[in-house]
Amino acid sequence: MLPTEMLSIDITTPGGPEVLRPRTIAVPQPGPGEILIRVAGAGVNSPDVQQRRGRYDPPPGASPILGLEVGGVVVALGEGASRYALGEQVVALCNGGGYAEFVAVPEGQVLPLPTGWGLLAGAALPETFFTIQQTLVLRAGLSAGMNVLIYGAAGGLGGAAISISRVYGARPIAIVSSPEKAAYAESLHAAATIDHRRENVLERVRELTDGRGADRIVDIVGGQNLEQNLEAVALEGVILQLATLGGGLAEINAGKIVAKRLSILGSTLRPQPREVKAAIADSLLAKVWPALNEGRLVPPRLKYFSLEEAAAAHEEMEKREHFGKIVLVTRFGESFR
């Protein structure tokens, strides 16, 4: 018998981490094609911080509760949902609502927990793996032998980019800001690291790619970094602009885009329709889940907070020194620590 009420995290008003407060609300009902998951852990992502600050509103129809990914157990099936059985351990990309003890998710956005992975490590996979699978693989055509330059490589998105590059036989080159982060990126199997505070990024990229430049660049910095990327990218390369942590405006030489026959690709995952997210899930299941199931990918470094400690988790997330992933653990999830 499921409870009727659950603990969730509410944003009292947009602002700092302190606006995140525990609140008891009704357990959601799974709609048609949805499944209800009892959440063990919810991954914390940078877009959650943006939403808390009032700078990233949920798309129409999505839960206003934070939380874009969870690991947990299937406890109820909505009408027509048939892919998963009650009691199955799963991970899911949510449209919101993950910072709670239960969440309803379209079944196409749910994937089985990889073999040998705990529910809490699994909770830290979907948001970044869906983002990188769609942009780097499905849209930018990642393939074996490519040099992939990855900014923020010790962060959530960067770690996923290293792992997925390896799955496809590409060569991930990790850009980080400290020796500690470099060691972490290497532990995820980065082929090489560049410390942007201590080394000349362009010189190192040329050295590491025999002067060709990077075939794909995963950038979350934006701003004037774009000018550097136009230098660092190889002929016919693709620059993926997934965030603009360093600012949105850039003065660039557009002639380089022409002369190098470049593509610049932007994306935001969350507002996309459920059919698109389901297609990404199918691609992950076919191509990346075998590597996870065979233990070929290293789980991210995890830092745990209880669900009630969401404010402290956000404080940690906002520290530049933070690396790996942060997971909020529910009372149910405590036994999986």
Ligand X SMILES: NC(=O)c1ccc[n+]([C@@H]2O[C@H](COP(=O)([O-])OP(=O)(O)OC[C@H]3O[C@@H](n4cnc5c(N)ncnc54)[C@H](OP(=O)(O)O)[C@@H]3O)[C@@H](O)[C@H]2O)c1
Site for ligand X, rule CB under 6 A: 45-47, 50, 127, 131, 152, 154-158, 176-177, 181, 220-221, 242-243, 245-246, 267-269, 320, 323
* Least CB distance to ligand X at residue 87 (A): 30
Dihedrals phi, psi of 90, to nearest 5 degrees: -140, 165
CB of 225 to ligand X, least distance (A): 8
Q: Which residues contact 286 (CB under 8 A, 6 or more apart)?
A: none
Considering beta carbons, is residue 20 or 242 the nearer one to ligand X? 242
| Minimum separation from the CB atom of position 320 to ligand X (A) | 5
Closest-CB residue for ligand X? 155
Cβ closest to ligand X, residue 43 vs residue 106: 43
Between CA 80 and CA 173 the distance in angstroms is: 44
Cβ closest to ligand X, residue 59 vs residue 169:
59
**Torsion on CA atoms 324, 326, 331, 332, rounded to nearest 10:** -50
Nearer to ligand X, 73 or 154 (CB): 154
Residue (267 or 293) nearer to ligand X, CB = 267
| Burial track 270-280 (b if 16+ CB lie within 10 A, e otherwise) | bebebeebbbb
CB of 93 to ligand X, least distance (A): 11
DSSP string, 221-265: --TTHHHHHHHHEEEEEEEEE---TT-S-----THHHHHTT-EEE
CB of 245 to ligand X, least distance (A): 4
Q: Are 27 and 20 in contact (CB under 8 A)?
A: no
Q: What token pair was written down for 298?
A: 């290293």
